[in-house]
Amino acid sequence: MKLLTDINTIFLDRDGVINKDSGYITNWSDFIFIEGVLDALIHLTKLDYKLVIVTNQSAIARGFFTTEDFINLNKKMINEFNTFGIKLTDVFFCPHHKDGVIEEYSMECNFRKPNPGMLFSAAEKHNIELSRSIIVGDKESDLLAGRNANLHSCYLIRSSNSESPSESIYAKKSFNSLNDFVFNFLCK
């Protein structure tokens, strides 16, 4: 059963919500799914939500890895999702950061959360009604992006990342994990 029956799209941050946020993740061997996240994503797929990942990847601008490295890591994540029958609508990422060392990515950008550019782009590409969408993230920037895009609501996952608050005025509710959000709230 869906608690939010008027919602059809769930935007998800990646690091800290789907995988453990251990800094800049450059290798698949360092990409560790948070406990229960695959079960949560399987359930959301069965409920026919559009699932869209929106992730800031300033490590590209900072020179820690390349766009190609990110795309390759992303493909491995999607392949893993596919083995579990998880249907992901798309992944949007922002490689920019104003303090970057890679000139082409060293800039402010409307895609970088808390700006809503990734959400607007996803809505246009996949015919998503933002007023019928939510965002689940572990940082204030995720929640503010949702607010700036006028999403239905925003939900906080408390992650181990030092930038992750335990509560937020921008979150409708806070949870310990995506699994907690899905099974103890959304599908209660």
The set of catalytic residues is: 13, 15
- Other CB atoms within a 10 A radius of the CB of residue 148 amount to 16
Residue 101, token pair as written in the block: 């060392």
SS3 for the chain is CCCCCCCCEEEECCECCCECCCCCCCCHHHCCECCCHHHHHHHHHHCCCEEEEEEECHHHHCCCCCHHHHHHHHHHHHHHHHHCCCCCCEEEEECCCCCCCCHHHCCCCCCCCCCCHHHHHHHHHHCCCHHHEEEEECCHHHHHHHHHCCCCEEEEECCCCCCCCCCCCCCCEEECCHHHHHHHHHCC
Rounded CA-CA distance 184/188 in Å is 6
